Amino acid sequence: MLIARFPRLSLAHLPTPLERLDRLTATLEGPTIWMKRDDCTGLAGGGNKTRKLEFLIADALVADATVVLTPGAIQSNHARQTAAACARVGLDCHLVLEDRTGHDDDHLANGNVLLDQLFGATLEVCGAEDDPATVLEDAAARHAALGARPYVIPGGGSNPIGALGYVNAAIELVGQANDIGLDIDHIVHATGSAGTQAGLVAGLTAIRSGIPVLGVSVRANTTAQEVAVLDLALATADHIGATGCLTADDVVVDDDQVGPGYGLATDAMVDAMRLVARTEGIVLDPVYSGKAMAGLIDRIRRGAYDRAEHVVFLHTGGAQSVSAHRDVLGEGRATANRDRS
């Protein structure tokens, strides 16, 4: 398995730090918690999509594309990082953003939307009645008719090319752990469009690390998400020449933190975000990493891990959406009243 044979751009600040979270660990009185800081990949504020985009944008350049199109939720972190990556290499960027529920102004104009606009992307918003795939195809055809050469990236950058970013992350993480003599017992992270978990599982099994991964689903139920991750992990293993390195047993997802649905707040998510912010000074996000951390905390409280174990939480980013979620995270205006303390 040689990742270096695939076209790749350097977009991310790598390796991302691997940090031990002592105050969070002490508060939860469970296993030692480490955090792999993929919120610090650098581009556009960071996040997991930047690792995928190193391979996807390189492929777009090989294909001689002039415009990149990709879909996402209105507050998509993938859309933001794609817009920034395109700006970085001088490609046009067209985002098809789905607005499915009645959102407030912060959700529709702040956070990632504000940044998409700053990076100069074209935004096309589609509603619940539209099929995003069709809207995206139509947009690509429109660009082609005007003489542009479109390159379409699937939602979340999740195909075998994008997943290479997380094959690479798996190798990077195991190398870091080896350097400091850390024996990782578990990896926990948020799973959505499946590319992160698929790449990690393919990479970790290809190098026979033996480290189990738990994906905390933010949308699909356990069965559907495990099928999506397994399909992509198998295709990714083929892509890197490691066919046969993994089986269905290597793909484990839990849907117990989805709550009312994708992007919709849960009390456990808000509690997890506040706890990590107040013990470690680290910002999680309400849609992905906050729910994944809620899943980890719940497991620790239920005694799922031994105190002697070491758990790595992969922070996949998303803090740039926080200002779009003032309705659930905000505590009102700062006050000038000095009597309040």
Ligand X SMILES: *Cc1c(COP(=O)(O)O)cnc(C)c1O
Residues designated catalytic: 76
User: Least separation, in Å, of the C-beta of 232 and ligand X?
Assistant: 9
Interaction mask 285-304, ligand X, x per CB under 6 A:
x--xx---------------
Tell me whether residue 107 or residue 143 sits nearer to ligand X (CB atom): 107
Q: Closest approach of Cβ 241 to ligand X, in Å? A: 22
For position 47 contacting ligand X by CB under 6 A, the verdict is yes
Pair 327, 104: CB distance under 8 Å: yes
Q: How many CB atoms lie within 10 A of CB 242?
A: 17
Nearer to ligand X, 77 or 209 (CB): 77
Between residues 80 and 143, which has the closer beta carbon with respect to ligand X?
80
Q: Which of 41, 34, 22 is nearest to 296 (CA)?
A: 34
Strand partners, 20: 34
Residue with the two structure tokens 């003489």: 147
Q: Which part of the chain contacts ligand X (CB under 6 A), choosing from 63-71, 230-238, 282-290, 302-310?
A: 282-290
- Angstrom CA distances, 249 to 30, 190, 218, 301, 302, stand at 26, 18, 21, 25, 23
Angstrom distance (rounded) from CA 59 to CA 65? 9
Token pair recorded at residue 26: 């002490």
**Taking contact as CB under 6 A, which single stretch among the options 3-11, 126-134, 188-196, 248-256 is the one that binds ligand X?**
188-196
Binding span for ligand X by CB under 6 A among 20-28, 187-195, 251-259, 272-280:
187-195
| For ligand X, the closer CB: 31 or 199 | 199
Determine the distance from the C-alpha atom of residue 63 to the mean position of all C-alpha atoms in its chain, rounded to a whole number: 25
Candidate residues 111, 192, 203, 295; the one interacting with ligand X per rule CB under 6 A = 192
Both tokens assigned to 112: 């990632």
Nearer to ligand X, 65 or 232 (CB): 232
Least distance from ligand X to the Cβ atom of residue 339, Å? 39
Q: Smallest gap, in angstroms, from Cβ of residue 38 to ligand X?
A: 9
Stretch that binds ligand X, among 146-154, 189-197, 296-304, 324-332 (CB under 6 A): 189-197
Tell me the backbone φ, ψ of residue 160, rounded to 5 degrees. -60, -25
Stretch 92-131: interaction string toward ligand X, x if CB under 6 A: ----------------------------------------
Q: Please report the DSSP string for 266-326 in residue order.
A: -HHHHHHHHHHHHHH-----TTTHHHHHHHHHHHHHTT-S-TT-EEEEEE---GGGGGGGH
Based on the shown chain and the rule CB under 6 A, indicate whether residue 280 belongs to the binding site for ligand X. no
3-state secondary structure 132-185: HHHHHHHHHHHHHHCCCCEEECCHHHCCHHHHHHHHHHHHHHHHHHHHCCCCCC
With CB under 6 A as the contact rule, which of the stretches 88-96, 200-208, 236-244, 283-291 interacts with ligand X? Answer: 283-291
Q: Does 55 bind ligand X (CB under 6 A)?
A: no
Give, as ranges, the residues between 312 and 331 that touch ligand X (CB under 6 A): 316-318
Q: By CB under 6 A, is residue 77 in contact with ligand X? A: yes
Q: Which is nearer to ligand X, 209 or 217 (CB)?
A: 217
Residue number with CB closer to ligand X (31 or 318): 318
Max CA separation in the chain (angstroms) = 66
Structure-token pair, residue 231? 């399909």
Q: Does 194 bind ligand X (CB under 6 A)?
A: yes
- As measured in angstroms, the least distance from the Cβ of 87 to ligand X is 18
How far, in Å, are 172, 219, 277, 285 from residue 124 at the CA level?
Answer: 36, 23, 34, 24
Which residues are at the interface with ligand X (CB under 6 A)?
47-48, 77-78, 156, 158, 190-197, 285, 288-289, 316-318
